[in-house]
Amino acid sequence: MSNVVIAGMQWGDEGKGKIVDLICPAFDVVARFQGGHNAGHTVKFGDSHFALRLIPSGILHDGMRCVMGNGMVVAPQAFLDELAELKEAGVDPRGRLYISERATVLLPPHVHLDQAREAERGADAIGTTSRGIGPAYESKASRYGLRMVDLTAADLEERLAALLAVIRPQLVALGADVDHPDLDVAALAERCHAWAGDLKPFVADTGRLLAGWVRDGERVLFEGAQGALLDIDHGTFPFVTSSSSTVGGAAVGTGLPPTAIDGVIGILKAYTTRVGAGPFTSELLDETGKHLQRRGNELGTVTGRPRRCGWLDLVAGRYAARVNGLSALALTKMDVMDRLAEIQVCVGYRIAGEVRTDYPADRAALASAEPVYRSFPGWQQDTVGTLEFADLPPAARDYVAFIEEQMEAPVLFVSTGPKREETILRREHPGFELLTAGRL
């Protein structure tokens, strides 16, 4: 039995969706454990292109069961819209897609509060997607939020009134418009009743289902959103998401015990990107950064915002590896580096005249850090679509070997293009046994 977590090693956008989509055939269930529709997973195969925001990437595989765990915040309308897009594309999720009855409901008032806060911060905005994710998690932690099971509660209007009693005064204090149907108890209750009917076929006790499947020897692939450096505890606080995007969140966010997890595959982009505000030591503000942005098509899946680009930061990468623990790595977007004559990798930070190789918690230290680079020759050859590791240019193989050494984990996958099939799978490498189920 191998139940495996897919974990982002950077600030998200590492290519987790593609890897989940690729290795799904080795598993029976895909379970998403945190986040909401603030993060998108882009999956391409053949001529098809899907941007999934809430529903796990495994839904594109016929027969694959997919779970949206209790650790998620789910906006009902966003879910229904995504469901309609899948159905229009010929993907039928009926009978194999489940939403935890314990998942937090992200409601329109959460969105209003998120947008009002970001507007009030002005130049000091955190850079949220303004989708209401933070306020929804806040309502969960403060115990006035609603869960999926509450949408059919007899006292729904009273619960909504309690939620609005907290949110409306904040909106007034922020100077936001509170004369909106989204902030009216009766109107909001009417929408919730409608959503409850539409969501009924999908809502279930997913913790019980997962436990039963694992007991029966079924294999679970845990899928998170964002990356380790956006984790609420371990990320670059306060420029983080509002949930646990590291491996620990997989147990908390699904209801399975930590002992059910057998391995971790970390996803690392061959360079580094970040969306929104926050420290980014290896960021490139020159033509090379623009080149990576253009060639890598670095636009946010959900927001469409350009991603900040920079050299691979292995100080941050090693920290993410320590927090998550790694069985193997997937290195994505290798082909984006094809045209560079020289490639640099950040291996240390110079802070107050001292070179450090640990990742500091202090944001002032991070903001002042200067990157210490190690330089590598570029391979300047086309690697798009390469399927065998031996066929990569020697300089590209050396780059991979250095990453393995620094991250202390074998690179099991090397992505050489956006399509599912454009991936090197190194079957001879340690870590492959996590995927051996006779189906990959």
The residue whose two tokens read 């454009």 is 422
Q: Is 13 a catalytic residue?
A: yes
Q: Active site residue: 41, 110, 112, 234, which one? A: 41
Cα–Cα distance measured from residue 48 to residue 60, given in angstroms and rounded to the nearest whole number: 11
Q: Kindly report the number of other CB atoms within 10 A of residue 219's CB atom.
A: 19
Tell how strand 104-105 and strand 73-74 pair up.
Answer: parallel
For residue 242 the two structure tokens come to: 């509002």
- Listed in sequence order, the residues at least 6 apart from 222 whose beta carbon sits closer than 8 Å to its beta carbon are 3, 4, 5, 6, 31, 32, 33, 250, 254, 261
Token digits of residue 201: 């076929």
Tokens of 7: 């974990």
What phi-psi label fits residue 137: left (phi over 0), alpha (psi between -120 and 50 degrees) or beta?
alpha
Query: Which of the 8 DSSP states describes residue 362?
Result: -
CB 3 within 8 A of CB 220: yes
Using CA atoms, how far apart are residues 74 and 57, in angstroms rounded to an integer? 16
Say how many C-beta atoms besides its own lie within 10 A of residue 61's C-beta. 17
Count of beta carbons in the 10 Å neighbourhood of residue 166: 16
Parallel, antiparallel, or unpaired for β 220-223 and 203-204? unpaired
Of 13, 28, 114, 313, catalytic: 13
28 is catalytic: no
- Give the C-alpha separation, 421 to 250, whole Å: 27
Helix axes 185-199, 156-173, angle to 10 degrees: 120
First and final C-alpha spacing in the chain: 15
Annotated active-site positions, please?
13, 41
